[in-house]
Amino acid sequence: MNAPPDVEYRIAHLKERLAAEETGDLGIRIENRGSSVTVIGTVPTAHSRAALMDTVNEELAGLTVHFDVVVAECAAPDHPEEVV
């Protein structure tokens, strides 16, 4: 089963939208994989992951989308590291 003929156009539009939005998720890869689309990358917070997923699902409604997006732990440590 193949993706609809306009899927590449929709992916390109999604990439433009992500680049223009406040989070500027340029490190996200979006790949057409036959009958589905896969979103791959790392985001700084759980909130930005949720926002990314909402945007992708909105732009690619009707398509099967798989997410492989992880949240980078950017918080400062809450305790000193002990070196043994």
- 76 found inside a domain: no
Q: Judge residue 67's burial from the number of C-beta atoms within 10 Å of its C-beta, 0-12 exposed, 13-18 middle, 19 or more buried.
A: middle
- Measured CA to CA, the distance from residue 56 to residue 27 in angstroms comes to 14
The whole domain housing 37 covers 7-71
- Measured CA to CA, the distance from residue 37 to residue 7 in angstroms comes to 9
Which is higher by pLDDT, 7 or 23?
Answer: 7
- 64 found inside a domain: yes
pLDDT tens digits for range 9-64: 999 999 999 888 766 666 789 999 888 999 999 988 888 899 999 999 999 999 99
pLDDT of 1 over the 60 cut: no
Where residue 5 falls among pLDDT bands split at 50, 70, 90?
confident
Number of domains, the chain: 1
| Sign of the Cα pseudo-torsion (59, 62, 66, 71, in order) | positive
- 82 found inside a domain: no
